Amino acid sequence: MKNGFLDKVKDNAAVWICVTQNNLQKLKEIWDQWDDETKQLFHCNYGNLPYLLDVKVDKHLFQVITQYWNLAYSCFTFGKVDLVPTVEEYTTLLRCPRI
């Protein structure tokens, strides 16, 4: 990598990410209306995504960890140390036993 690029992301530059939050209750209702065949088809196409409907998000933890997320490198940056969580660590952070 060029040093010029590294200088731009030095000290974990601030990054703004815009997201849209869907109505969780409405998503759960839609999921509950589907029969097993439709749920299985969805699962085949998108994996364990529906399990996220049951994950309780710790908003304070999420706010803290996003402050350290380095978008350019897709890792967490603490000072001069870069960390990339394993799948097991993500499941622990999300309190989600299945991914």
Residue 42 · residue 35 · CB < 8 Å: no
Q: What is the pLDDT of residues 74-93, one digit of tens each?
A: 888 988 898 888 888 877 87
Q: Which helix (H) or strand (E) holds 75?
A: strand 75-78
Q: Is the pLDDT of residue 11 over 80?
A: no
| pLDDT given for residue 65 in this prediction | 82
Q: What is the pTM of this model?
A: 0.47
Out of 5-19, 24-38, 48-62, 65-79, the most confident range is 24-38
Domain chopping of the chain, boundaries: 22-52, 55-99
Residue 62 · residue 52 · CB < 8 Å: no
| pLDDT given for residue 29 in this prediction | 92
